[in-house]
């Protein structure tokens, strides 16, 4: 189950030195099933707030559990495998 939070009218943007950062969208997701391999042209910040699973990113495996915060880069192939006995729940924010 996934719920996108509409931030399009909020115009959330900020500067980090010479870098302009814009929030494209924000989601709250419950992973009842794993999220298949994909990539996109923006950065994606993930915060796992419940459950557990595994991140497959660029051929590497990383454990995910409540309290994990991670950032996927642009065009970085990634997949999230949830633990069916302890489904992951996360907030994610897409940044350009």
Residue 90 CB-half CA count within 13 A? 27
Which pLDDT does position 5 carry in this prediction?
A: 62
Please report the pLDDT score of residue 41 as a whole number. 93
What's the pLDDT score for residue 25? Answer: 82
pLDDT value at residue 3: 60
pLDDT in tens, 59-74: 899 999 999 999 999 9
Return the number of other C-beta atoms located less than 10 Å from residue 80's C-beta.
23
pLDDT tens track for 9-57: 677 788 889 988 888 888 888 988 888 999 999 999 999 999 999 999 9
């Amino acid at each position: 189950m996934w719920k996108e939070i509409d931030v399009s009218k909020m115009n959330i943007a900020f500067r980090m030195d010479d870098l302009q950062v814009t929030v494209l969208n924000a989601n709250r997701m419950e992973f009842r099933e794993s999220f298949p391999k994909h990539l996109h042209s923006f950065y994606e910040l993930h915060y796992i707030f419940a459950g557990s699973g595994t991140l497959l990113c660029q051929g590497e495996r990383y454990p995910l559990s409540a309290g994990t915060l991670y950032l996927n880069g642009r065009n970085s192939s990634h997949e999230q495998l949830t633990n069916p006995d302890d489904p992951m729940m996360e907030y994610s924010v897409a940044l350009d």
